[in-house]
Chain A
Amino acid sequence: MRQAFYDRLEQIARSDKNLYILTANLGFRFLDRIRSTCSEQFLDVGVAEANMISLAAGMSTCGKNVYCYSIIPFLTMRAYEQVRVDVCYHGLKVKLVGMGAGFTYGLEGFTHFGIEDLALMRALPELHIVAPDTVENAVKVAELSYSHPFPLYIRLGRAGVHSPDAQPSIRRIGEASVVREGRHLAIIATGNMVPVCDVVAGQLARDGIAATLVNMHTIRPFDSEMVRRCAAEHPIIVTAEEHSITGGLGSAVAEVLAEAPYTGRFARIGIPEKLDTVIGHADYLWDHYGLSAQKIYSRLMKMLKQESEGAAHVLQS
């Protein structure tokens, strides 16, 4: 995903000398190409994330279109106050490209997990947030980000996942896309969880259950209208994200539903606030924390069963 993102960005950079890519000393191999073909626009600032964000802000005031790259927690947390003041308060169109959504870094462990970033970044005024789910959508985000008129946080995730028809589904930042439609329940997912939930929806379909799947790739500005549409048409809404259960997509959807108001059933699927001591690759951790397709499928089936039993109970009484 990140390779495709940067390959597209490299093409754009070659035609615009004002585009700069800053990295806090990360990106071995996959930044090689952009580093060699656009060497005057590539800047490794060293292991200094806070300085990188302020540098980018200063460069931006002088007319540069700046992308900053690091691993999610270092980019979003180490430099959070610089993002808040230097980028967001000034409304500068700096792009923050974070790698490693959720458990992407697997065995590298806790320090490298991006599991609280959406909560943090969602609280910042002005900042837009987008989380592509596939290689094709990451390329599309590279294109859309170039002239995006707000500060933008781009949350990159798992490598090698492609869109079904090898075409991007993201049309516009801020406009959620519908992957499939069904009447029994709606799944609203973001980033890595979109392809996983598509598998889940396929399994449900084989059981005769029709699910709507929404790709909520943009977390800010939030497509509240899409959530209200889901609420109007579905008795069950579930969110799925590779992020803490607190403060991310699930919270954003809950805020809309609470004000809608929504009388159906709602559940958030995400990472618990407190992690266990267990380690593993991302797939292993997904399964451990209930984010694998199989675990999500089982949880949804249980919910659906409870709902139908509840409905039968209401009918009997």
Chain B
Amino acid sequence: MEVDCERLVALAKKVRLHTLDIVCRTRCPHIGPAFSCIELLVSLYFNTLKTCPEHPEDPERDRFIFSKGHACPALYSVLFERGFISRERMQGFAVNGGTMQQHPDYNLGCGIEFSTGSLGHGLSVGAGMAYALKKDNSPARVFVMLSDGELNEGSTWEAVLFAAHHKLNNLVLIIDYNRMQALGFTHDTLQLDPLAAKFEAFNWAPQTIDGHNFQAILSSLDLASREDSKPSVVIAETVKGKGVSFMENNLQWHYDCPNSDQYALACGEIE
């Protein structure tokens, strides 16, 4: 497939800088998990998803559920770049009297298809959407992004069983597999590997890719969309804090916000 990856690389840089800005402006947490999924979000909103801010309620639009809601600075930045969120609305992020909390809120509209923040809900909700859309013979597809930590949740696996049983081939799960969760590495918390084999055993169609490589991301999403009898999962190998050397694979940046020196350093590295 022919795609202008350079454009997407430039967009990712812009989104990463915007994410850094709003995190630093509001002193909000979760920059690490936000940076790990920026290429994935840019790919979805600027290439894959059939949805647009001009017709946000189109019944045939693709749906996207950002289940790892704590990383919402990245989502908001992408939605802003894509025109779903206004500049004025962005000013109300994570400030007293604002409207945009530190987890995505469906009640705002702005292209947010479902409120998240409590982990382990997103895949079930997405499966419900995919089931209903399939019943209506809708061409719409449902994309759900989960953190790896959400694979600890029992409800996620209830949805994994359901989606495979009902052959929801209009459902694409993307796992932001940065291998770090709230208190440390996933392999020290609850070992997830072999992850692709688990999904294969559950009758899903898995692909494992480099989650920061646009060509790989776009190809995998394209392939997933052509699956004819199974739900698809894209296991995106990513790096927590991607793009800023001192944040990469460092749990500190699940919580902390850069100081002014760190901000300047981060800007330099991203640019």
Which residue from chain A places its CB closest to the CB of B142 in the assembled complex? A58
Tell me if A81 counts as interface (CB < 8 A to partner B): yes
Tell me if B55 counts as interface (CB < 8 A to partner A): no
Encode contact with B along A78-115: 1 for CB under 8 Å, 0 otherwise. 00011001100111000000000000000000000000
Tell me if A59 counts as interface (CB < 8 A to partner B): yes
Contact A48 B161 (CB under 8 A): yes
Question: A residues within 8 A CB of B59?
Answer: 62-63
Chain A, 32-65, CB within 8 A of any chain B CB: 40, 43, 45-46, 48, 50-51, 53-64
Question: B residues within 8 A CB of A53?
Answer: 124
How far in angstroms is the closest Cβ of chain B from A47? 9
Query: Given A50-B124, A61-B114, A90-B106 in contact, is the A82-B155 Cβ separation under 8 Å?
Result: yes
Kindly name the residue among A48, A58, A64 whose own CB sees the greatest number of chain B CB atoms within 10 A.
A58
Question: A residues within 8 A CB of B126?
Answer: 58
Question: How many residues does chain B have at the interface if contact means C-beta atoms less than 8 Å apart?
Answer: 27
Tell me if B127 counts as interface (CB < 8 A to partner A): yes
Question: B residues within 8 A CB of A58?
Answer: 114, 124-132
Encode contact with A along B137-170: 1 for CB under 8 Å, 0 otherwise. 0000000000000000011001101100000000
Distance between Cα atoms of A62 and B65 in the complex (Å): 14
Question: B residues within 8 A CB of A85?
Answer: 115, 117-118, 121
Which residue from chain A places its CB closest to the CB of B140 in the assembled complex? A62
Distance between Cα atoms of A64 and B129 in the complex (Å): 10
Distance between Cα atoms of A61 and B122 in the complex (Å): 13
Chain B, 91-138, CB within 8 A of any chain A CB: 106-107, 113-115, 117-118, 121, 124-133, 135-136
Chain A, 1-60, CB within 8 A of any chain B CB: 40, 43, 45-46, 48, 50-51, 53-60
Kindly name the residue among B106, B118, B130, B155 whose own CB sees the greatest number of chain A CB atoms within 10 A.
B155
Contact A81 B118 (CB under 8 A): yes
Question: B residues within 8 A CB of A57?
Answer: 114, 125, 128
How far in angstroms is the closest Cβ of chain A from B9? 33
Interface of A is mostly: helix
Query: Given A85-B118, A90-B106, A90-B107 in contact, is the A51-B131 Cβ separation under 8 Å?
Result: no
Query: Given A50-B124, A54-B159 in contact, is the A59-B132 Cβ separation under 8 Å?
Result: yes
Question: How many residues does chain A have at the interface if contact means C-beta atoms less than 8 Å apart?
Answer: 26
Which residue from chain B places its CB closest to the CB of A22 in the assembled complex? B128
Query: Given A51-B162, A90-B107, A90-B114 in contact, is the A62-B136 Cβ separation under 8 Å?
Result: yes
Among candidates A45, A48, A51, A63, residue contacting B132 with C-beta atoms closer than 8 Å: A63
Question: A residues within 8 A CB of B115?
Answer: 85, 89-90
Question: B residues within 8 A CB of A40?
Answer: 135
Distance between Cα atoms of A148 and B115 in the complex (Å): 23
Contact B121 A48 (CB under 8 A): no
How far in angstroms is the closest Cβ of chain B from A159? 30
Contact B127 A55 (CB under 8 A): yes
Distance between Cα atoms of A50 and B157 in the complex (Å): 11
Name A residues whose Cβ lies closer than 8 Å to a Cβ of B.
40, 43, 45-46, 48, 50-51, 53-64, 81-82, 85-86, 89-91
Give me 26 A-to-B residue pairs in the complex whose CB atoms sit less than 8 angstroms apart, sorted by A's number: A46-B161, A51-B124, A51-B155, A51-B159, A54-B125, A54-B128, A55-B127, A55-B131, A56-B128, A57-B114, A58-B126, A58-B128, A58-B130, A59-B131, A59-B132, A60-B128, A61-B113, A62-B59, A62-B132, A64-B135, A81-B118, A86-B121, A86-B124, A89-B115, A90-B107, A90-B114
